[in-house]
Structure 1
Amino acid sequence: SISMISFFMPTNAFSKYDVDKNVSLGLNIDNLSKIMSRARDGESLIMKEHDNKLTLEFSGQSKRRFRTQLIDVRKSVDKEPSVQFDADVEINGETLKELVKDATIVSEYISLKATKDQFTIDCRGDSGELNEEHLSDGNSIKKIKTEKNAEATFNLQFLENMVKSCPAGNYISIGLKSNEPLKLTYKVGEAQITYYLAPYMES
């Protein structure tokens, strides 16, 4: 697969969490996204599973209940990639968002490179080139830890979609290994989102 997402929310992020046993629920992400987009300010959400359906109840000035069919994903869910990354970078989320926006002006792909001293991006396209460097002791970089230099190229559209939900003020952790999948992690409240993105390889 080109990309993967792993979402973790601890039990203390819920006002009430009542689960008797471990259970896996398969959901169509497009259907779930459409339902969640209808949430209103000030509403609480109750989720219940029954008869192979998931009920999502929004409670505020009124109560609204959506029910969506569960799907069998036991055979189709891939495991998270097992990669020993050569470089780990923690960069300010807003900095990375702006960096990605800069890159979309000149190319559809972005090359990320990490050394012990700096984090660098390179883009080349028909309209021009972009090079941007962030030193390890700069304001945007919280940490760079490298076993050895790492560099890989990725699809910009996927990367842009991955970083856009990072809240202002948060840092994004990047795991990088030359020509291997990228690991990108950040917090949203109590939850943690992890993305994996396969590198772009010229055919």
Structure 2
Amino acid sequence: MLEAKLSEAGTLKKLLDAIKELVTDANFECNEEGITLQAMDNSHVALVSVLLEATGFKRYRCDRPMPLGVNLTSLTKVLRCAKDDDECTIKAADEADVLNLVYEAKTSDRIAEYDMKLMDIDSDTLGIPDTEYDARVTMPSSEFTRIVRDLSLLGESVRIEVSKEGVRFASDGEAANGSVLLRQSDSSAIGKVKQKTKTPKKEDEDEVVEVDGEDDEEEAAHGKKKKAVKKEVVDGDVDMDEDEEFQANSEGEEEQEADEDEEGSESGKKRKKSSNSSKPAKKAKTASSSKKGKGRKTDDSDDEGEGGVRIEMNAHVSLTFSLKYLVNFSKSASLCNRVQLMMSNDVPLLVSYDFGQGHIRYYLAPKIGED
């Protein structure tokens, strides 16, 4: 049995709108890891690969692997009956010939239920080999949509060239020619394509583990109460919210001021010294934790590119593709605001959109020779 609940039906609607013109009938392969779709267009020039991870669903259950043969045009019509913010539940029994969709409104008590007939589709899953690309361009998906749409008005093909100058999109038409050049957003030189881009996070995690291990060893060797107290304070700082920590510090300061007024200036001075000696340690810990947090955010922002264009290149690449397909690919811009173009000479172009619940990837064969 399959039961998958999405928090928003709009995600599935946008996904189908992006691929319905490329593929008419396809199998949704369901297993415990999620739902995948892989299909080629009728001309066998483009391939689309979709992944919806099980962790991206609000509730997911799949007892055994099962294919769901669906006509994408019919499924699109059924999904139009749902609002974008409706919760969508997909159900299918084992060896059933009907797909059940339930839409639950978040702002009202409306529950809509639809049944759609499934199809028996014979399709072979193609093995996509791991390819080391010579060039990778990360750019805003809206910019990519605009470029391919504008150039499609001039001609049928576009030449995408990645060089030290940047990435250039050029189209030659019968009446006019046009080209768009995108340079690297920052002033740094164009980098090389790297396979691993998240190593800083692992180093941060290793550092935290080592610190905890040192505290444990010191406590076991010396057995002092002071270090046990320090460890409890650190753990409390980690688990405590910022508001609670601020309140705890303010309450401690108020109690100290009250005690100083009652017991006199000498005892007040001593307490001030002790409080001042303990406060810098807390501040240092929170500062270090905030630095780590900031470091992780900057890593994420580097991966996202912050809305600019990032170019990584190991070799000069120049390929020609059909604009008709690229225009269809660009419809996935509603799912993600970033797009990656992966290229190598004489290798299909990879256009990848990664969103919160999975990804959609397109593979397009380049044109060889003259049209």
- Aligning the two structures, in what range does the TM-score lie when normalised by the shorter sequence? 0.7 to 0.9
Report deviation, 1:146.
Answer: 1.8
Inter-partner Cα distance in structure 2 for 1:89 and 1:54: 39
Unaligned 5+ residue runs, structure 1?
Answer: none
Instruction: Tell me if structure 2 keeps the 8 A contact 1:135–1:141.
Output: no
Given candidates 101, 119, 126, the residue that maps to 1:78 is 126
Deviations 1:172-192 (A, max 9, x none): 011112233111111334331
**Alignment-derived partner of residue 42 in structure 1:** 85
After TM superposition, give the deviation of residue 156 of structure 1 in Å. Answer: 1.1
1:133 has 2:176 as partner? no
- Residue-by-residue CA offset, 1:94-143 (whole Å, 9 max, x unaligned): 11111112202211111111124411111001121011111124596542
Amino acid at match of 1:30: T
Q: 2:97 aligns with which of 35, 38, 52?
A: 52
Which moved further from structure 2: 61-70 or 7-16?
61-70
For 2:62, the equivalent position in structure 1 comes to 19
- CA separation in 1, counterparts of 2:348 and 2:142? 22
CA distance in 2, matches of 1:70, 1:41: 24
For residues 125 and 83 of structure 1, what CA distance do their matches in structure 2 show? 32
Measured in 1, the distance between the counterparts of 2:123 and 2:360 equals 23
Runs of 4+ in 1 over 4 A off after TM superposition: 138-141
Q: Distance in 2 between matches of 1:107 and 1:136?
A: 26
SS in 2 for 1:21: coil
- Is 1:149 equivalent to 2:194 in the alignment? no
**3-state DSSP class of the match of 1:18?**
strand
Give the direction of change, closer, same or farther, for the CA distance of 1:43–1:16 in structure 2 (3 Å limit): same
Alpha-carbon separation, structure 2, partners of 1:116 and 1:23? 47
Structure 1 distance, partners of 2:72, 2:347, is: 26
1:114–1:151 Cα contact (<8 Å) kept: yes
Tell me, in whole angstroms, the C-alpha distance in 2 between the residues paired with 1:31 and 1:77. Answer: 23
The aligned residue for residue 68 of structure 1 is 116
Distance change >3 Å, CA 52–CA 140, structure 1 → 2: same
Partner-residue secondary structure (3-state), 2:74: helix
Q: Which one has the bigger strand percentage? A: 1
The separation in 2 between residues aligned to 1:21 and 1:107, in whole angstroms, is 48
Alignment partner, residue 363 of structure 2: 196
Alignment CA distance shift 1:137-1:30 (3 Å): same
**Counterpart contact for 1:112–1:122, Cα < 8 Å:** yes
Stretches of structure 2 lacking an aligned partner (at least 5 in a row): 1-43, 187-305
In 2, the alpha carbon distance for the partners of 1:130 and 1:20 equals 53
The structure carrying a bigger helix percent of its residues is: 2
**Aligned AA for 1:20?**
D
TM-score normalised by structure 1 residue count: 0.86
- Specify the alignment match of 1:87 in structure 2: 135
2:336 and 2:85 mapped to 1: Cα distance? Answer: 23
The answer on whether the counterparts of 2:183 and 2:309 sit within 8 Å (CA) in structure 1 is no
Paired with 2:165 and 2:316, the residues of 1 have a C-alpha distance of 10
1:26 match: secondary structure: strand
Q: Distance in 2 between matches of 1:83 and 1:198?
A: 14
Give the structure 1 partner of residue 338 of structure 2. 171
Per the alignment, do residues 47 and 140 of structure 1 end up closer, same or farther by CA in structure 2, a change over 3 Å counting?
closer
CA contact (8 A) 2:336 2:354 kept: no
* Percentage of matched positions with identical amino acids: 22
Deviations 1:142-184 (A, max 9, x none): 4222221112111112111111221487210111122331111
CA contact (8 A) 1:88 1:174 kept: yes
Please give the root-mean-square deviation of Cα atoms over the aligned residues, in Å.
Answer: 2.4
One-letter amino acid matched to 1:2? V
